[in-house]
Amino acid sequence: MKRFALAGNPNCGKTTLFNSLTGSTAHVGNWPGVTVERKEGTYKRLEEPVSIIDLPGIYSLSPYTNEEVISRNYILDEHPDVVINIVDATNLERNLYLTTQLLEINVPVIVALNMMDVLEKANASVDEKILEEKLGVPVVKVSALKEDNLDELMKKAYEVSKSPREGRTIISNKDLLHLIGDVSIAFKGKKVENPLFHSIKLVENDEVEVKDHSDLLEMVNEFKKTFKDDTFGEDFEALIADNRYHYIADNFANAVKKPEVEENEAKAVKMSKSDKIDKVLTHRVFGLLIFAAILFIVFHLTFSENLFFLGGLFSEVAPSFEGTIYEGLFWTDGGINSPGVILFNFFDMSFGAIIDAIRGALESAPAWLSGFLCDGVLTGLFAILGFLPQILVLFLFFAIMEDTGYMARVAFILDRMFRKFGLSGRAFIPMIMGFGCSVPAMINTRTLADDKERTATIRVIPFFSCGAKLPILTAIAGGIAMAFGFHHVDLITYSMYVVGVIVAIIAVLLMRNTTLKGDPAPFIMELPEYHWPQFKALMIHLWDKAKHFVKKAFTIILASTIVVWFLSSFGWNWHMVDSMSDSILGSLGQLIQPIFTPLGFGSQLGAFGWVFAVAAITGLIAKENVIATFFMLAAVFVSSSNPEIVEIVNSLIEAGEATEEGIDEAFIMIAGTGISWQGCISFIAFNMLTIPCFAACATAKAELPKGQFKWTLLFWLAASYIGSACIYSILSCFTRDTSRLAWAIPVTCGILLAAAAVVVFIVLRNKRNAKKEANA
C-alpha cells in the first residue's frame, strides 16, 4: 500500500485533515503540539486504498523536541511515497519556511493550502498558480475542516506519487550554493541518501547532522573558512535561514491578495477581536485570578450539589418531587444540583433500579448466583459507569478550553510562576491533560525540550487527579458529606484537586533542587488565534473518551471486581463465608492493614477496616477499581447476615439517613468501619498520589530516560505514603478527640519543622552555589 505522509507546522490542521481523510477520531486542539506520535489511517476513495500517516507538527527539519525527531526520521528514513505538506494559508510566510526544506529531500511533495475557508471569509485569496510555478510542485487549495477539495488533493497526490522527484533547493546565493555543492559531492561519495538535504543541514551546523556525519565536519569547516558573507560573516545558520525567508518574501508577497480598501479595516477588526479577549484573559493583574475562577466554576458546574450557593434562597419554594421518581434528581437538601450531579444522579438511580429488579427476580435463585450477579458484577460495574456523565462534563469543559486557544494562553500566563518551580509554562499543558488521563499527558511531555524537565513533569502528572480517580473523590466526598454533615461535595473535590497540585509543586521544587537540577528550558511557543470551539471536534473527543471508559469498565474493571468478589465471598476452604472478615481477601487485607495506620485507615478502624487497604491495592490495576471494589465490598457487607452489620444498617434506616433501596455505599463503609473524616481525606490523597494505574506505569517506563523508572516508582510510593500521613496528621489537629490530639499536635509540629528545615537547607545551598559560581 502506498504511504502518504502529512507534514506541516504545528496547529496548521494536519490532524483535522487526517480525520477527514480517514474517518478517524484522533484528538485535535487549538494549540501547537497536540499530536506527538505518528498515527496511521486509510484513505479509500482512490483506485487503490492508501495509507495516511499523520506526523507531529514541525517548524523546520532541524528537530528541537523529541516529537519533532519522529517527523524528521519518518520523512527521511521511511521513504513515504508522497509528503503532503499542509500549509496554513493564513500564515504563508512561516509555513513555507518548512516547505523550502521539504523540497530539498528526494521525495514527491504536494502542497495543501489549508484554511482556505478562513481566508475567504476575510475576503482574501491566494494565487496557487504563483506558488505552483515557483515551488515546482502541485498546490491544491483545501479546507480540512469543511472537507473542501480533499478528493482533488488526494487524486493529485496519487499522480505525484507515481514518479520520483529529485530534491532541489531555493537557496540562490552563488557562493553558498558552491559550498553546498561541494559538500553534497562528498555525501554522494559516501552513498548517503538525500545528499542535498544532508549537506545543507551540515552547513547549517544542524545538531543531528553534526553528530551523524562528524567525519565530514572538518571538510565543511575548511570550506567555510574560504567563505565570508558581507552581512552574516561566518554565521551560516543565520545566512541560510535568511535566504529562505528572503526567497519566500520575494516570490510570494504577491500571491496573497487581500482587498486593498478593506485591508486595514479587516486587520483592525481581527486584531481587536483577539486582542479584546486577550486583554481580559491575560490581564496583568486579573489573568491569574480569572484562570483560578474558571477552574473553580468548571468543578462547581460538575460536582456541586448547591449550584452557585443559591440553596438557602430556594429551599422553601423549590418542588421536592418527594415520592416521585424525580426525588433527589435536581434538588437535594443542600440546594440546586449542578448539571454534572443531575446526570450522575440520573444514571445512579437507573442503575440502582436495575440492580433491585434483578435482585428481586433472583429471590428464589441460590444465594451465590444472586450474590455473584448483583454484588460481584453489577455493583462494581455500575459504580464506575455511573461516573461517566460527570467525567464527560468535566472533559467537555477542558476540551472547550483547549479548542478555543485558551489553554495556550494559560501556559503564557503561568510561565513566570512555573519558572520559579524550575519548569517552563509549556509543561503546564501535559499537566492539565493529566486531569483527563495520565497516559496521553505523559506522552505529550515529548514537547518539552529538556530531559530533566520531562522526567520531573512525568513524575508529577499522576498528582493531577485523572478521570479514573474522579469516582474516588466524588464517592468518598459524598460519603463524608452524608456521614459528617458537611454538605459541600464540590468544595471537598475542588480542594482535593488543589492538594494534588500543591503536592506536585512541592515535589517539582524538591526534584529540581536536588536530583534533577537544571535551568528551566527556553519558552518559545506559538500562540494560536482564538476561535469558537468546533462542535464536531468536541463531540469526537467526548465520544472517544466515553468509548474508552466503557470498554475499560467492561474488561479490566469487570474482571477485577469479579476476582475481588470471589476472594471476598469465599474462604480458604472454598466455601462461601458468612462474614467478609473470614474470606480470603479479608485475611489478606488484615495482614496489610497495619501498614496504613499512620495514614488513618489502618489498625485504628474496626473489623472491616481492611477494605480500604484492599481497595487501594486493586487501584494499581486501574484507578476505577478503588471505588468498584469499595462499592462491591459494601454490597457484600450489606447482604451478609452478619449481625453487627444488620444492626448498623437498621440503625441507619431508623435514623432516616438511608432507605432500604438507596443506601449509599460509601456511607455504609464509613459508618461500618468507623473511619474518621480525616482518614477519608487521607485515603483519597493516598490514592491520588500513589503509583498510578498499570497503563500509566507502562507509559512512564517508555517515556522516561533509561534507569529512571524504578526511582519513579519509589518516588510515587514515598510521595503517597508521606503525603497522606502528613495530611492525616495535620487534619487530626482539628478533632475533639483528646487521645488523637495527643499525638497529632506534636507530629504536625514535627512535620512543619522538618519542612522548614528542608526549605532553609535548599535556600542556603543555592545561595552558596550561586556565590561559588559568581567567584568562579
Partner 1 sequence: MLKRLDEFKIGETGLIKKVEGEGRLRRRLFDMGVTPGATVYLRKKAPLGDPYEITIRGYELTLRKSEACLVILEVEDK
Contact call for residue 576 and partner 1 (CB under 8 A): no
Contact call for residue 93 and partner 1 (CB under 8 A): yes
Residues in the interface with partner 1 (CB under 8 A) total 44
Contact region for partner 1 (CB under 8 A) — 70-78, 407-415, 558-566, 703-711? 407-415
Contact call for residue 463 and partner 1 (CB under 8 A): no
Contact region for partner 1 (CB under 8 A) — 87-95, 178-186, 490-498, 767-775? 87-95
Q: Count Cβ neighbours within 10 Å for each residue of 516-525 and write b for 16 or more, e otherwise.
A: beeebbebeb
Contact region for partner 1 (CB under 8 A) — 352-360, 412-420, 482-490, 579-587? 412-420
**Separation CA 751–CA 735 (nearest Å):** 18
Instruction: Report how far apart, in Å, the C-alpha atoms of 250 and of each of 131, 255, 263, 272, 731 are.
Output: 12, 10, 21, 29, 68
**Rounded least distance, CB 678 to partner 1, Å:** 36
**Rounded least distance, CB 430 to partner 1, Å:** 17
Q: How far is CA 532 from the centre of its chain?
A: 21
DSSP 170-231: ----HHHHHHHHHHHHHHHHTT-SSHHHHHHHHHTT-HHHHHHTHHHHHHHHHHHHT--BTT
Contact call for residue 415 and partner 1 (CB under 8 A): yes
If the CB atoms of residues 216 and 240 are measured against partner 1, the closer one turns out to be 240
On whether the CB atoms of residues 572 and 646 are closer than 8 A, the answer is no
Contacts of 681 (CB under 8 A, 6+ apart): 480, 492, 496, 727, 728, 731
**Separation CA 237–CA 217 (nearest Å):** 15
According to CB under 8 A, which one of 2, 3, 38, 94 is a site residue for partner 1?
94
Contact call for residue 246 and partner 1 (CB under 8 A): yes
Contact call for residue 394 and partner 1 (CB under 8 A): no
According to CB under 8 A, which one of 91, 251, 597, 748 is a site residue for partner 1?
91
If the CB atoms of residues 13 and 138 are measured against partner 1, the closer one turns out to be 13
**Rounded least distance, CB 94 to partner 1, Å:** 5
String of contacts with partner 1 for each residue 38-77, x by CB under 8 A: ---------------------xx-x-x-------------
User: At 125, phi and psi to the nearest 5?
Assistant: -145, 160
If the CB atoms of residues 19 and 424 are measured against partner 1, the closer one turns out to be 424
String of contacts with partner 1 for each residue 511-550, x by CB under 8 A: -----------xxxxxxxx---------------------
Strands 109-114 and 82-88: parallel
Contact call for residue 282 and partner 1 (CB under 8 A): yes
**Rounded least distance, CB 425 to partner 1, Å:** 7
If the CB atoms of residues 245 and 351 are measured against partner 1, the closer one turns out to be 245
If the CB atoms of residues 64 and 486 are measured against partner 1, the closer one turns out to be 64
If the CB atoms of residues 325 and 417 are measured against partner 1, the closer one turns out to be 417
**Rounded least distance, CB 775 to partner 1, Å:** 23
**Rounded least distance, CB 246 to partner 1, Å:** 7
If the CB atoms of residues 344 and 421 are measured against partner 1, the closer one turns out to be 421
If the CB atoms of residues 35 and 90 are measured against partner 1, the closer one turns out to be 90
Contact call for residue 284 and partner 1 (CB under 8 A): yes
Contact call for residue 592 and partner 1 (CB under 8 A): no
Instruction: Report how far apart, in Å, the C-alpha atoms of 615 and of each of 212, 371, 552 are.
Output: 51, 19, 18
**Separation CA 713–CA 701 (nearest Å):** 10
**Rounded least distance, CB 236 to partner 1, Å:** 11
String of contacts with partner 1 for each residue 712-741, x by CB under 8 A: ------------------------------
**Rounded least distance, CB 211 to partner 1, Å:** 13
String of contacts with partner 1 for each residue 220-239, x by CB under 8 A: -----------xx----xx-
End-to-end Cα spacing for the chain? 61
Contact region for partner 1 (CB under 8 A) — 284-292, 298-306, 475-483, 761-769? 284-292
Contact region for partner 1 (CB under 8 A) — 23-31, 172-180, 408-416, 766-774? 408-416
If the CB atoms of residues 11 and 370 are measured against partner 1, the closer one turns out to be 11
According to CB under 8 A, which one of 104, 206, 209, 375 is a site residue for partner 1?
206
If the CB atoms of residues 231 and 659 are measured against partner 1, the closer one turns out to be 231
Question: H-type helices in 371-513, by residue range?
Answer: 380-385, 388-404, 406-420, 428-433, 438-444, 451-460, 470-484, 489-513
Contact call for residue 97 and partner 1 (CB under 8 A): yes
On whether the CB atoms of residues 577 and 569 are closer than 8 A, the answer is yes
**Element at 122 (helix H, strand E):** none
Query: 450477579: which residue's cell?
Result: 373
**Separation CA 272–CA 747 (nearest Å):** 56
Contact call for residue 326 and partner 1 (CB under 8 A): no
According to CB under 8 A, which one of 413, 475, 511, 700 is a site residue for partner 1?
413
Strands 39-43 and 50-54: antiparallel
**Separation CA 288–CA 515 (nearest Å):** 30
If the CB atoms of residues 348 and 415 are measured against partner 1, the closer one turns out to be 415
Instruction: Report how far apart, in Å, the C-alpha atoms of 427 and of each of 499, 613, 715, 753 are.
Output: 19, 33, 20, 31
Residue 734 cell numbers, joined: 482539628
If the CB atoms of residues 206 and 664 are measured against partner 1, the closer one turns out to be 206
DSSP 376-404: IIIIHHHHHHTTHHHHHHHHHHHHHHHHH
Instruction: Report how far apart, in Å, the C-alpha atoms of 316 and of each of 124, 306, 331 are.
Output: 59, 15, 12
**Rounded least distance, CB 272 to partner 1, Å:** 12
**Separation CA 371–CA 377 (nearest Å):** 9
Q: What is the CA radius of gyration of the chain?
A: 31
**Rounded least distance, CB 204 to partner 1, Å:** 8
Q: How far is CA 422 from the centre of its chain?
A: 20
Question: H-type helices in 63-166, by residue range?
Answer: 66-77, 92-102, 116-121, 128-135, 150-161
String of contacts with partner 1 for each residue 424-443, x by CB under 8 A: -x------------------
According to CB under 8 A, which one of 207, 222, 234, 660 is a site residue for partner 1?
207
If the CB atoms of residues 91 and 639 are measured against partner 1, the closer one turns out to be 91
DSSP 308-372: GG-HHHHTTTS---TTSTTTTTSB-SSSBPPHHHHHHHHHHHHHHHHHHHHHHHTTTS-HHHHII
Q: Which residues bind partner 1 (CB under 8 A)?
A: 59-60, 62, 64, 90-94, 97, 206-207, 231-232, 237-238, 241-242, 245-246, 275, 278, 282-285, 287-288, 412-413, 415-417, 419, 425, 449, 522-529
